Amino acid sequence: MRLLAFAFLVSLGLHASPFSLIKKETRTPNTQTLLVIGGIHGNEPGSYFAGAILSEHYRITKGNLWIIPDLNRQSIQENNRGINGDLNRKFADISPDDPDYEIVREVQKIIVSPEVGLILNLHDGHGFYRKKYLNTIFNPNAWGQTCVIDQQSLDHDHPFGHLDHIATQVSRTLNGGLIEDHHFFDVRNTNTRFDDEAMRHSLTYYAVTNHKPAFAIETSKHLPTLHHKVFYQLRAIECYMELMGIEFERSFSLEPEAIRNLLELRGNLTINNNFYLKMENLRNSLSFIPLKSGRNDFKFSHPLGSVRKNKSHYDLFIGNRKIASLLPNYAANDDCINEVSVQADGQQKTLSVATDFFVTDDFKVVNHNPGIRLNVIGFTARGVRDESNLRIRREDLDTNYSVDTSKKSYRLEFYRENRFCGMVLVHFK
């Protein structure tokens, strides 16, 4: 399998591309690609966290899968449907002056690319769809728990052009494994061309009018937890993969509890290829982070990792969850070291810059370069400017300077004069 993650996933500078495109491809001939899009609405986390798990924890063994987990990234950060208006109402026509213009034009190019054979647009919708009115939650105007189509079938022949038949088949499969009986799925045909003027501006209708089969998967906003929503989203996506002959493996059991555990994972962050943080258990605020005064390159391992400059600090996000704020200490960077030599519990290790290591009792950074000095953040030795070649225990460190809430992880930073060279992270077990 080839896994292609475009630069706007791997590297998120403050002027990065607006969304991520992740390609999971095999060399299977004559195979159409499934395109899955999450996060068109920033306040629908089931959509983008499903896209993230699909990106991280699925391996395609036959066929091709493309994923955009974070289409409306800034709105996701704000947990807002659309900070510049409803993005799903801009696909018929959009002004070049619209702040969402680049997003719309880029995703339109992807949708109409010849490789793409079917599009899924993921949503969390209000209520539970029912063909007859029961109450304000269960009624024909609700969107939750539906496979949405714009029309009965495509206007041109296509292997997946019978939209109603496919959506009905997927709904029946989903209804064979519900958490609660009232979670059942149904098909909602908006009959967009004739009956729904607003939907004529939607992403799926844009796809359909360009002869591409497209469906919306709507899980209910009234489901009790995020992992319930993601559970149903992933089950639906798997139905469409099976329909297209896409074969896959996943690293977890498709059960709500397993998904809940995956949603707690935050991955790691590398900044400028010389600074490293684990995002789990990170303190809410970290100070004196050696950043450049110009452009900084933030690389998140999590598909929904993103950064936002906020006056004097940088906010880090996983989806709509603000994880931490970084208060910078602007410093010139210097590519003066690539590797670090440490003794961890007496065992010699060689580490790349911007990585981490674990110790039980103590560590010592071995440095024979007089031009490079080590600053162990949280450690003080009177009269010592370079803190390398000293054996350091956990009790020697001021816990106020740990990067994590469990007070076990500390920064080891290297400088040449006042220029930042890089760092490694030490974790006490």
- Read off the pLDDT of each residue in 355-372 and give the average, rounded to a whole number: 96
pLDDT value for 14: 55
pLDDT value for 12: 57
- What CA–CA distances, in Å, run from 391 to 329, 358, 412? 27, 15, 13
Q: State how far Cα 338 lies from the chain centre.
A: 29
Is the CB of residue 201 less than 8 Å from the CB of residue 93? Answer: yes
pLDDT band at 364 (very low <50, low <70, confident <90, very high): very high
Per-residue pLDDT of 17-44, as tens digits, reads 899 999 999 999 989 999 999 999 999 9
pLDDT value for 6: 39
pLDDT band at 359 (very low <50, low <70, confident <90, very high): very high
Express as a percent the part of the chain with pLDDT over 90. Answer: 95
- Read off the pLDDT of each residue in 108-123 and give the average, rounded to a whole number: 98
pLDDT value for 9: 37
Q: Is the pLDDT of residue 3 over 60?
A: no
Q: Is the pLDDT of residue 7 over 50?
A: no
Q: Is the pLDDT of residue 341 over 80?
A: yes
pTM: 0.95
pLDDT value for 17: 80
pLDDT value for 337: 94
HEC-encoded secondary structure of 251-312: CCCCCHHHHHHHHCCCCEEEECCCEEEECCCECCEEEEECCCCCCCCEEECCCCEEEEEECC
Q: Which domains does the chain have, with CATH numbers?
A: 2-263 (3.40.630.10), 268-328 (no CATH), 339-428 (no CATH)
Q: Is the pLDDT of residue 10 over 50?
A: no
pLDDT band at 13 (very low <50, low <70, confident <90, very high): low
Name the strand (E) or helix (H) holding 54: helix 45-57
- Read off the pLDDT of each residue in 248-260 and give the average, rounded to a whole number: 98
Mean pLDDT of the chain: 96
Buried b (16+ CB within 10 A) or exposed e, 322-355: ebbbbebeebebbebbeebebbbeeeeeebebbe
CA distance 409 to 401: 9
Phi-psi region of 272 (alpha: psi -120 to 50; beta: other; left: phi over 0): left
pLDDT band at 5 (very low <50, low <70, confident <90, very high): very low
CA distance 105 to 96: 10
pLDDT band at 16 (very low <50, low <70, confident <90, very high): low
pLDDT value for 46: 99
- Read off the pLDDT of each residue in 70-74 and give the average, rounded to a whole number: 98
Tokens of 190: 């908006």
